[in-house]
Homo-oligomer: A and B are copies of this chain.
Amino acid sequence: MSNPRPTLADVATSARVSVSTASLAFSGAGPIAAETRRRVLAAAEELGYSGPNPLGRQLRSGRSGIVGVIIGDALRRSFRDPVSVQTLDGLVSTLGPLGLGVLLVPGSTAPGTPAVDPLVESAAMDVAVIMWGGTAGDPVLAALRRRGTPTVLVEGAPVEGVAAIGIDDRAGIARLGAHLLELGHERIATVTLAFSHDRREGLADADRVAGIAWEITRRRLAGLGDAGITPVAIWETPASLVEHGTAAGRALLTSPEPPTAIIAQSDLLAAGVVLAARELGLRVPQDLSVAGFDGRDLPGLGPDVLTSVAQPLAEKGAAIGHAVEALLEGSMPLPQLLPVALRPGTTTGPPPQKRS
């Protein structure tokens, strides 16, 4: 009973037609008599043949119907951030109706390793999507280009021949900065995303800042400059997670001259900062203003609503999906920069009175 699975040829024989006719019966691409078709289908049913083997079809068409999504070094880390998950969800929703599947591809074999996962080199994928930009001279991107796999770079630095989708985070952060300046803040610190694969944690000096490899981190930092802000402190984190925000908050708020406002590069980090502030007995926003980025509602902050910049996650996923579609059709989609919107919450307010 568990014989080698029946093939189209078996079905054709059993239905007493040629393979080509049998193929027609399934694909419907070509003229076929209703009666013949019925006979083929009946034979298939009887033999337990459940449709054409995708492998054969793929070889012929040269298409695998698979979109490789390159996530960071660890699924766990990427997916603890709801931003990743929702973007991916938007992508899957767009790709599904097109009959495309999403293959999860780790970027590097192990966290911190530059070695590219073998899947990047060898998996059958029609298009690749690099979810988190990528650093300059990214080996993953290099491998994909060598293979000739059309690629969509999300939140990355523009690269010739690679489709780009991103949000206008730089302008968003600038608006956030302007908001805080209007409120009267003068001592503003910032908590950033990871600088590079080394994922250090702590205060960053000028040298460190100059060496930022992740485009997204650099760009959001630049947004502050656009607003005319020179942060009194820049704290880099290993990843966008609440606990790293808490660590940052503790450190920044216990420094000799603590900031009156902290801009975090993500909502999770901002939530962590708020928790740290509470821990230290500071009231938000009376004693400290905190702003985040992404515009998701987080549980755990109680009644507080984080001041943030909302980015359209589902739309981003859809935009990536459309870029993939375009690449499959052989055209290069235009770079897209999706708009973001300042979303004032209850965590920002005027700075505390100077105790002069």
A residues in contact (CB < 8 Å) with B: 5, 48, 50-51, 53-56, 58-59, 62, 64-66, 74-76, 79-80, 82, 85-86, 88-89, 92-93, 96, 99, 101-106, 109, 117-119, 121-124, 146-148, 242-243, 271-272, 275, 298-301
Contact = CB atoms under 8 A, between A and B. Distances in A.
A204 to B, nearest CB: 25
Given A5-B148, A99-B122, 4 more contacts: A96-B106, A103-B103, A103-B104, A104-B104
Given A55-B124, A242-B299, A92 B104 contact: yes
A9 to B, nearest CB: 15
Contacts of A242: 299
B102 A74 contact: no
A147 B50 contact: yes
B64 A89 contact: no
A128 to B, nearest CB: 12
Contacts of A51: 121-122, 147
Given A50-B147, A117-B96, A299-B300, A85 B89 contact: no
Nearest to A99: B118
B102 A103 contact: yes
A98 to B, nearest CB: 10
A102 B106 CA distance: 10
A88 B75 contact: yes
A124 B92 contact: no
Contacts of A48: 146, 148
A140 to B, nearest CB: 14
A275 B300 CA distance: 9
B99 A119 contact: yes
Contacts of A99: 118-119, 122
A96 B109 contact: yes
Contacts of A65: 123
A101 B76 contact: no
A89 B74 contact: yes
Nearest to A96: B106
B85 A75 contact: yes
A86 to B, nearest CB: 6
Given A55-B58, A85-B75, A300-B299, A119 B103 contact: no
